[in-house]
């Protein structure tokens, strides 16, 4: 156990639906006050995990601990946990203010206190002016604010957000990611957000857990998981990546010599972890970490000759598909302002990379 730092703790949680294992022995620790993202594609078990934390589903095995207390056996209405549902689940027959006050009314607080706290939380999400509207009279973005206000009104110890941006259009989504995270940080609530959108997770979360097939693949701050993926799955899920399959040719002190058929000749990388000669490995290179040049770089950098296959102009960046001599296509990103932004189809160029930018994946 991670001592005082872990606020929510899941231990060996298993959930099955018939034959399908939705959650497969998950252990997880969320720290007090952080925004934690459960990231994964649909069906990876992240929503089941969230519902288990909320108490809406009871796991087959495992325990849920909140601030050291085992809440596994508590029904949802007894847990100091509130959830903002996907597409919000606002009560259609109640006004905005009644929706927000609903949770407070369940606690039988004095009327004046309910009114005061409802006002405060509506103010927080800037919805005080629309307090007497019904959900059907609100736009998607306004509904989201009301849903957030409703789940914050009871000042839960833990806030759960289930795909909070899924019902918004693209432009609003990008704006709300920052605003939502800002509001959550302002009220200092510990928050778990479920999303399939890596950008959303990276923008909003302090730490994230990448999930696949009911298991947690990797946990850590977004920048760390991005820079140091621990598996092919992590590397490919979070951002674009070029993966080169091969094997370890030799271990030479601090360096490994890799045989990667798609890159000509042996490749040297700093030794990392326990790998032995002959072991199959995979080298991951982020497209923006590839250095592109018109002339070959110094021999020490092992430049590779490439031919430009096509170029996509993304505004701030240019996305190239480059063909290596081996016939393998690689992705490369260069800043749109760079003098290399103008390469055209068929032109020859060179790529190289710093050894520290290459990540060796043993799995």
Partner 1 sequence: MTAFGRRLRLLITGIPFAWLLLFFLLPFVFVVKISLAEAQIAIPPYTALLARVDGHWQWQATLENYAFLLSDRLYLLAYLNSLKIAALSTLFCLLLAYPLAWAIARAPQPARNVYLLLVVLPSWTSFLIRVYAWMGILGSNGYLNRLLLSLGLVDSPLPLLRTDFAVYVGIVYTYLPFMVLPIYTSLVRLDYRLVEAARDLGAPAWRCFASIVLPLSRAGVLAGCLLVFIPATGEFVIPELLGGADTLMIGKVLWQEFFNNRDWPVASAVAILLLALLLLPMLLYYRQQAADSAPGRTVAGG
Taking CB under 8 A as the rule, does residue 344 contact partner 1? Answer: no
**Alpha carbon distance 43, 298 (integer Å):** 47
Query: Residues 12, 63: contact at Cβ < 8 Å?
Result: yes
Q: Which of residues 258-287 bind partner 1 (CB under 8 A)?
A: none
Closest approach of Cβ 69 to partner 1, in Å? 17
- Which residue of 46, 117, 131, 154 would you call a contact of partner 1, by CB under 8 A? 154
Closest approach of Cβ 103 to partner 1, in Å? 4
Helix axes 140-152, 111-124, angle to 10 degrees: 130
Closest approach of Cβ 97 to partner 1, in Å? 14
Taking CB under 8 A as the rule, does residue 194 contact partner 1? Answer: no
Of the pair 49, 263, the CB lying nearest partner 1 is at 49
For residue 258, give Cα distances in angstroms to 224, 230, 247, 263: 24, 18, 6, 10
- Which residue of 2, 42, 112, 136 would you call a contact of partner 1, by CB under 8 A? 136
Closest approach of Cβ 70 to partner 1, in Å? 19
- Which residue of 72, 102, 124, 331 would you call a contact of partner 1, by CB under 8 A? 102
- Which residue of 139, 279, 326, 348 would you call a contact of partner 1, by CB under 8 A? 139
**How many positions of this chain bind partner 1 (CB under 8 A)?**
29
- Which residue of 126, 137, 272, 348 would you call a contact of partner 1, by CB under 8 A? 137
Of the pair 117, 154, the CB lying nearest partner 1 is at 154
Closest approach of Cβ 48 to partner 1, in Å? 14
Closest approach of Cβ 210 to partner 1, in Å? 26
Q: Which region, judged by CB under 8 A, interacts with partner 1, from 10-18, 129-137, 274-282, 333-341?
A: 129-137
**Alpha carbon distance 119, 149 (integer Å):** 10
Closest CA to 256 of 274, 276, 270: 270
Q: Which of residues 72-91 bind partner 1 (CB under 8 A)?
A: 75-78, 81-83, 85-87, 89-91
Q: Which of residues 39-78 bind partner 1 (CB under 8 A)?
A: 54-56, 75-78
Edge-to-edge, what's the strand order for the sheet holding 329-335? 291-293, 348-352, 304-313, 317-324, 329-335
Closest CA to 25 of 194, 211, 192: 211
Closest approach of Cβ 102 to partner 1, in Å? 5
**Alpha carbon distance 297, 110 (integer Å):** 73
Of the pair 102, 350, the CB lying nearest partner 1 is at 102
Residues that bind partner 1 (CB under 8 A): 54-56, 75-78, 81-83, 85-87, 89-93, 102-103, 106-107, 134, 136-137, 139, 150-151, 154
């Amino acid at each position: 156990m991670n001592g005082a730092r872990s606020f929510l703790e899941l231990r060996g949680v298993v959930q099955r639906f018939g034959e399908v294992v939705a959650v497969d022995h998950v252990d997880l620790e969320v720290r007090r006050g952080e925004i934690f993202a459960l990231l994964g594609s649909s069906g990876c078990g992240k929503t089941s995990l969230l519902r288990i934390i909320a108490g809406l589903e009871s796991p087959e095995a495992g325990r849920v601990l909140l601030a050291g207390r085992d809440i596994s056996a508590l029904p949802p209405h007894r847990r100091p946990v509130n959830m903002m549902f996907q597409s919000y689940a606002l009560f259609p027959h109640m006004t905005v203010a009644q929706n927000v006050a609903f949770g407070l009314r369940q606690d039988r607080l004095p009327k004046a206190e309910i009114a005061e706290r409802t006002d405060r939380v509506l103010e927080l999400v800037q919805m005080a002016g629309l307090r007497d509207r019904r959900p059907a009279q609100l736009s998607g973005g306004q509904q989201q604010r009301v849903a957030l206000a409703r789940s914050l009104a009871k000042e839960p110890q833990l806030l759960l957000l289930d795909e909070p941006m899924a019902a918004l259009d693209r432009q609003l989504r990008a704006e709300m990611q920052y605003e939502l995270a800002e509001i959550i940080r302002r009220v200092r609530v510990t928050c778990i957000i479920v999303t399939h959108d890596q950008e959303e997770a990276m923008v909003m979360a302090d730490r994230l857990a990448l999930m696949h097939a009911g298991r947690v693949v990797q946990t850590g701050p977004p920048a760390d998981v991005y820079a140091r993926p621990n598996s092919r799955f992590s590397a490919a899920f979070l951002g674009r990546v070029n993966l080169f399959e091969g094997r370890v040719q030799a271990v030479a002190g601090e360096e490994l010599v890799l045989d990667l058929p798609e890159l000509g000749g042996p490749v040297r990388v700093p030794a990392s972890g326990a790998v032995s000669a002959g072991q199959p490995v995979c080298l991951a290179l982020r497209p923006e970490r590839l250095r592109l040049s018109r002339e070959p770089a110094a021999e020490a950098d092992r430049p590779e000759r490439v031919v430009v296959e096509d170029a996509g102009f993304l505004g701030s960046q240019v996305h190239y598909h480059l063909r290596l001599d081996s016939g393998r296509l690689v992705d490369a990103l260069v800043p749109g302002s760079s003098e290399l932004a103008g390469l055209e189809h068929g032109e020859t160029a060179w790529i190289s990379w710093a050894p520290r930018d290459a990540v060796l994946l043993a799995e």
